[in-house]
Amino acid sequence: MDTDHGVALPLADARFYEIFMPYEIRLAQRRAMTWGSTPDDQLPPFFTGLYLVQPVYAGATEFPRAEDGGTELRRHVETLVRQGLRDSDVLGYLGENELLAVVRDLDPHQSYVVAQRLLSACNRSDLLRAAGIGMRVGYVVYPLTSQPNYPPAQWIQLVRLAAVVGGRSPDSTGGTGFGLMRGPAAATTNLPESDLVDLAFEDLDSLVGAGLLTLQRLHLFGNF
């Protein structure tokens, strides 16, 4: 996935996401229904990537307050994350220090590369390292089935799933992350997508083992 940093778009906020995300989920569903049971290796880039970037504290106990350099660190993280995104993608804060990047028109085979870019850029930061702060990436590539029916108004659950997936990384390092996408058996299952998401919170490993979902682990490999 190529990036283009010619325009610095404003950061989104929670209110923006409340309006934008149901539309984005519905759009991804319509596109998926159009392509039906097309094999994964022939799918066009109609997926939506939800990338949650969260701070983890290796040496620090919490994110510094604004008067102690927190504002500078936040802006630094924003810059690092933007370097891995295109101008057509959306970036903003869900929580005080949680960044959500919505990567549109995503080729699922490129989802791993996007996450590696975000993670590697943060991991190389001397400023974050000096502050004892690492960044963890968790992501969900939506839709998760070939017949998606997840209620768009419940989009926040997909982001929470990204947080759970990313949380499989050891908190002590902040140098790894995980992602989730549809599995090789997604086109043949009759399991409703809403049930699939609920089960992913309870027993993700079983769904991965059955081929309904694919779990990707991130590693740090040089520059992207």
Please report, for the domain that includes residue 120, its CATH number.
Answer: 3.30.70.270
Does residue 45 form part of some domain? yes
**Total domains present in the chain:** 1
pTM of the full structure: 0.89
Q: What residues make up the domain containing 118?
A: 14-218
Does residue 68 form part of some domain? yes
Does residue 167 form part of some domain? yes
CA pair distance 35, 157, nearest whole angstrom: 25
Tens digit of each residue's pLDDT, the chain (224 residues):
445 544 456 799 989 999 999 999 999 998 887 765 555 556 667 899 999 998 888 766 778 788 778 889 889 999 999 988 988 899 999 988 899 999 999 988 889 899 988 888 888 888 988 888 888 899 999 999 888 999 999 999 999 999 999 988 665 455 578 999 999 888 777 788 999 999 999 999 999 999 999 999 887 644 33
Does residue 134 form part of some domain? yes
Does residue 193 form part of some domain? yes
Does residue 75 form part of some domain? yes
